[in-house]
Structure 1
Amino acid sequence: MKPLLVSLFIGLPAMAQAGCFGSGEPLFHCTLNGGTKALDICLQGEVALYRFGPAQGTAELLLARPVTGVAMTPWNGIGRHLWEEVTFHNGSHDYLVSYSVDRLATGDAPVTEGRVIVAEGDSEVADLACDAGSVTEADFYPLFEAKLAAGELWCPETQSWGGACN
């Protein structure tokens, strides 16, 4: 385990509770399964956190990754729906969290939908939609900025992170 992650896990019991624990910046939050489970994505400096588990209590899964170790697809600025997604890798499993907002929806406020897709290799293990109306945070732009600050470059032409766009 890298030193950065070791130092992050020193405070694990306090961090295992719901939400973004302490100074973390919330990027995404929703409930699932009728409010019995919660999903949070947070940013603490150069570390992105994925938390899934009971809405109240200890997380079932808590992943901490350097921002350079998290895949992210920012919104391309086109279309009716504003959407972004991030993927946390954990061994043979990937946890893809996404949200979508219909920018042209009528009514008091646009509806934000979210979900997490769990995959093992090329096989989808689970596709869990957030409970209707439960997405209270949905903004991965701070992660985008953190990836840029860490030296990664986003190439809109290829929709990928890497060196200079060619």
Structure 2
Amino acid sequence: MISCTLRGGTKHRQVCLNGSDAVNKYGPTSGAPELEITTPVGTLDYLPRPGVGCDIWETVTFANGAFRYEVVSGSSRPFGEGDAVPSPTYGSIHITRDDGVIADLTCDADSVEWGYCGGFFDAKTALGLCWEGHPTKAWGPCPSE
């Protein structure tokens, strides 16, 4: 879903799907991750793009005890002449503990690999969950037809 380097290429962040789980890995660029959190997709705190504005973005948040790791990935949409030129992607990690900010990390420029193709959204809907946008902004059971 998202992969990038941080801190001048010395660290690496990867968030991906592994079957019915979302996996968040962080650690040195070369070597085993220092932190790996696995969360079932059904309970994953995932906020899809709201559908308005110039940016296409999504967030996924992993909990580990009192710590929360909010991973943001996105891209700015160009407007006007030359729209065909893809805009750079961006990413960041917002780390909190007991609602206090621990760190805000930004992915290194030009290192973000982000595939906005519905991965987490599709995985949640495959489990029978539907996104209830404004005003609730929550996932819930899909209404029966």
TM-score (ref. length: structure 1): 0.78
**Cα distance in 2 for residues equivalent to 1:103 and 1:95:** 26
Identical columns (%): 37
Which of the pair is proportionally richer in strand?
2
Higher helix share: 1
Assess if the C-alpha contact under 8 Å between 1:84 and 1:140 holds in 2.
Answer: no
Q: List gaps (5 residues or longer) in structure 1.
A: 1-26
Structure 2 residue runs of 5 or longer lacking an equivalent are none
1:54-112, Cα deviation, whole Å (9 max, x unpaired): 11101000111110221011012111111110001111111000012110166843011
Structure 1 partner of 2:44:
70
Cα deviations by residue, 1:19-64 (Å, 9 ceiling, x for unpaired): xxxxxxxx10000000010000110110110000011101000111
Q: What count of residue pairs does the alignment treat as equivalent? A: 139
Please say if residues 73 and 114 of structure 2, whose CA atoms lie closer than 8 Å, have aligned partners that are also in contact.
no
2-structure distance, mates of 1:142, 1:164 = 18
Separation in 2, partners of 1:62, 1:33: 18
Amino acid at match of 1:41: V
Residue 94 of structure 1: which of 35, 56, 68 is its match? 68
| Structure 1 residue ranges (4+ consecutive) displaced by more than 3 angstroms after TM superposition | 105-108
Q: Is the 8 A contact 1:94 1:118 kept in 2?
A: yes
> What is the TM-score with the length of structure 2 in the denominator?
0.88
- Aligned-residue CA RMSD (Å): 1.8
